[in-house]
Amino acid sequence: MRKAAGVLLNCLVGVALLGGCAAMDTTSAPVVGTQKAALAAPEHVMLPADGRTIDLSIYRPVTAPLGAIFLSHGAGGSPARLELLIDRLRDAGFVVLAPLHGDSLLFPEDRREDLRTALMTRIGDLQAVSAYSAEAFPDLPYGAVGHSYGSLIGLIGGGALQMFDARVPRIEAVASFSSPGIIPGLTEPEGRLETVAVPTLMITGTADTVEPFALDPQSHATYFERQPAGERTLLVINGASHDFVYGEEAHYDEAMDLLVTFLRAELLDDAAAATKLASAQTGSGITIRR
């Protein structure tokens, strides 16, 4: 991050950076299945970082964790909005570390960060939470999962946008629910996404649009296409929107199964999961690209 502040100023010149790149998350939380009752409420750690305090939610599985996940929510969102996803990860044996980013609508308006400012503090959250994870869970493999704006943060941790000098070496894989779209001056020109250095999985949909940078659902696939071949997987869900992550749309269970399979294969060196992921084929509801 040593070069990040100066680079960010350059990125902002002539660009409405993330001013509306992800639909602000104002919807109510979905009804969560009965599986949630067996899982404990999150622990909250108030993590100091760069003169700020990060509210870090730690969601533990019922049994001893097999791996750790950094989870980054979408613009205006919160970890609580992603608890259906979180519980799927916990059921698979992962401990989830989810910071409340400064752009969350849970903050009062006078304390809430705009999406431009939040880029740098989100990167700071990534660094601080990853350092905490290395101390709290030193023996666990570590990956990242994000939604929309959070997907970009996870990919930065995996090696994208090298001008921010924010690669997290411990991150071994990144899974993304959608993207914020291709952002002129930030994710372009070409070459800025190609530096991702870990296996990736992206989940998007045929109705996945978000203003102003992803008016065409196919634009999310650009993230996939610019990442190194052989270490990438794209799931395109028939009919899925930008809110697919919340679990209220068709084919969610199938997508979650593939997500967990990906994480088990890449983080836990699970040979059976790797075989299952490699053999997964396009079906009536999910198109798979590699």
Domain of residue 57, CATH code: 3.40.50.1820
What average pLDDT does range 96-115 have in this prediction? 96
pLDDT over 90 (residue 15): no
- What is the pLDDT confidence band of residue 5, given thresholds at 50, 70 and 90? very low
In this structure, is residue 37 part of a structural domain?
A: no
pTM above 0.85, yes or no: yes
Both tokens of residue 84?
């259906």
In this structure, is residue 255 part of a structural domain?
A: yes
pLDDT number for residue 228: 84
In this structure, is residue 229 part of a structural domain?
A: yes
What average pLDDT does range 261-271 have in this prediction? 99
- What is the pLDDT confidence band of residue 251, given thresholds at 50, 70 and 90? very high
In this structure, is residue 78 part of a structural domain?
A: yes
> Which one has a higher pLDDT value, 170 or 27?
170
What average pLDDT does range 223-236 have in this prediction? 93
Sequence-separated (6 or more) residues with CB below 8 Å from residue 289: 221, 224, 233, 234, 236
pLDDT over 70 (residue 92): yes
Could you give the CA distance from residue 74 to residue 55 in angstroms, rounded to a whole number? 16
Q: Determine if residue 23 is left, alpha or beta; phi over 0 gives left, psi from -120 to 50 gives alpha, anything else beta.
A: beta
In this structure, is residue 94 part of a structural domain?
A: yes
What average pLDDT does range 60-74 have in this prediction? 98
Give me the domain span that covers residue 261: 4-23+42-289
Beta-strand runs (E) in 18-110: 43-49, 52-59, 67-72, 94-99
pLDDT number for residue 25: 58
Which residue's structure tokens are 């696939």? 221
What's the mean pLDDT when you consider all of the chain? 90
Could you give the CA distance from residue 13 to residue 240 in angstroms, rounded to a whole number? 34
H or E stretch covering 174:
strand 171-177
pLDDT number for residue 276: 98
pLDDT digits (tens, 9 = 90+) for 186-214: 999 889 999 999 999 999 999 999 888 88
What average pLDDT does range 234-252 have in this prediction? 98
pLDDT number for residue 86: 99
pLDDT over 50 (residue 33): no
pLDDT number for residue 176: 98
In this structure, is residue 35 part of a structural domain?
A: no
pLDDT over 70 (residue 215): yes
H or E stretch covering 144:
strand 142-147
pLDDT digits (tens, 9 = 90+) for 126-152: 999 999 999 999 999 999 999 999 999
pLDDT number for residue 28: 40
Could you give the CA distance from residue 283 to residue 237 in angstroms, rounded to a whole number? 10
Tally of domains within the chain: 1
In this structure, is residue 36 part of a structural domain?
A: no
Count of residues making up the chain: 290
pLDDT number for residue 214: 85
pLDDT number for residue 8: 44
Q: In what order do the strands lie in the sheet with 43-49?
A: 43-49, 52-59, 94-99, 67-72, 142-147, 171-177, 200-207, 232-241, 286-289
In this structure, is residue 230 part of a structural domain?
A: yes
